[in-house]
Amino acid sequence: MNNKIDFGKIKEFDGKLKLTGDKSISHRAVFFASMAEGESIIENISLSADVESTMNCFKALGVDILKKDDKVFIKGAGFDGFKEPNKPLDAGNSGTTSRLLIGLLAARNIKAEIIGDESLSKRPMNRIISPLNNLGASITSNNGYLPVKINGNGVVKKFNYELPVASAQLKTSLILYGLHSDEESTIIEKIPSRNHTEIMLNLHTIKEGNLTKINFSKKNYPIAQKYFVPGDISSAAFFIIMTILNKNSSLLIENVSLNPTRTGFLNVLKKMGADIEIVEQKSAASEIYGNLLVKSSKLTNIEIPIEIIPNIIDEIPILAIAGLFGEGKMIVKGAEELRIKECDRIKAIVENIKKLNVEIDEMQDGFVLLGKPEGNFAKVLYESYDDHRIAMAFAVLSMVNENGGSVSNFDCVRISNPIFLKQVQEIIS
């Protein structure tokens, strides 16, 4: 069914928003709590369908998981406690669920099959499978795609591995595998990626020039504990830019993750002239979070530094909307990873923006966009491509455009933020 949503221009607002938990941290909290011995509690967990997929997979592995409102109680299986699943583990649309499970289950003495929906089944898994098989795992796939079959042998030897690309999913999958060895393994990272796994497991990291060395072994295996998940900074990005682009508006976002590997897009926006201020900062389990105050701003486009692209990859669709209203050219390079997300996000951004008769040039690894600060674009129907971040980005564009706009297949936003529309109403009411 084509769940098209029509959006009108929103009014000026002075709002407040408290987001549900960060999706990346929520995934990891469920993984670590399920692996640990004893009961863990996760507070302010993400309500996303992706995190629900992670919980369902662990239930199928015999983990006792009880959800009450925004809290989840998990009785972990311990080091050897997972049951062999009697049916395929369905990761839904979640790349994080599937890729992290591959690394974890490859280390266990069980057989399992991982499947996903139509979109996830088109996303490559060889980046995870190949290095694990080279380290002694036994994993087969459908030519590098789901379904993936794991024949775990329960034997993991220490390893040293240099990440060929900046990928928190690959890094975490290898860490989950290496946590099953008595001997210490090392991952070398040339370009920093999200470090939630290292923080939450309290892993020993060493900086050597531009390199980061991450050391881990069975001694770092998760223990049962209480987790507080800060608000999702990637979800916050849509409301931050909605505020910046809406005249005479301001928004206070409470208890949102401020992990330095996740806030690169805030730095990009500040360089463009955005009025964003951290008004309070806290920490829980070494994760930094706090309150952000955002105000309407005039923007000047920039060439986004290529070295921070890995840390803003999820925010590029909504940054493109900011660039649409900025003065001058926004240049995005080194973002080819966008082509293998839930859809080809580079193509999706370019094709939708072309509908507005705006100058935008598509490149293999990005795009060049010439902004129109005066805005006032025609009302058009944007294609979501069944991608939650594309859908929300062009919903924001529709809401700040004088003539409004429409977005097709909008129900795909449930993948990361099923209450997006409710949050918009809370802000503007």
Q: Are 12 and 36 in contact (CB under 8 A)?
A: no
**Tokens representing residue 33 in the block:** 């709590």
The Cα–Cα gap between 257 and 132 comes to 31
Which residue reads 């902004």 in tokens? Answer: 371
The Cα–Cα gap between 3 and 413 comes to 11
Single-letter amino acid, residue 11: K
Q: Which contacts qualify for 281-288: CB closer than 8 Å, 24 or more apart?
A: 282/255, 284/228, 284/230, 285/199, 285/200, 285/225, 285/227, 285/228, 286/199, 286/200, 286/202, 287/25, 287/196, 287/199, 287/200, 287/230, 287/257, 287/259, 288/257, 288/258, 288/259, 288/260
- Of the candidates 303, 292, 291, the residue with the CA atom closest to the CA atom of residue 366: 303
Q: Which contacts qualify for 202-210: CB closer than 8 Å, 24 or more apart?
A: 202/286, 203/175
In DSSP notation, 7-25 reads EPPPPP-EEEEEPPBPHHH
Indicate if 314 belongs to the active site: yes
CB-based contacts of 345: which residues, under 8 Å, 6+ apart?
A: 316, 317, 338, 339, 387, 389, 390
- Of the candidates 361, 392, 397, 393, the residue with the CA atom closest to the CA atom of residue 379: 397
Q: What are phi and psi of 290, to 5 degrees?
A: 175, -165
Which residue reads 């994080």 in tokens? Answer: 96
Catalytic pick among 232, 314, 386, 387 = 314
The Cα–Cα gap between 119 and 61 comes to 24
Q: Which residues are catalytic?
A: 314
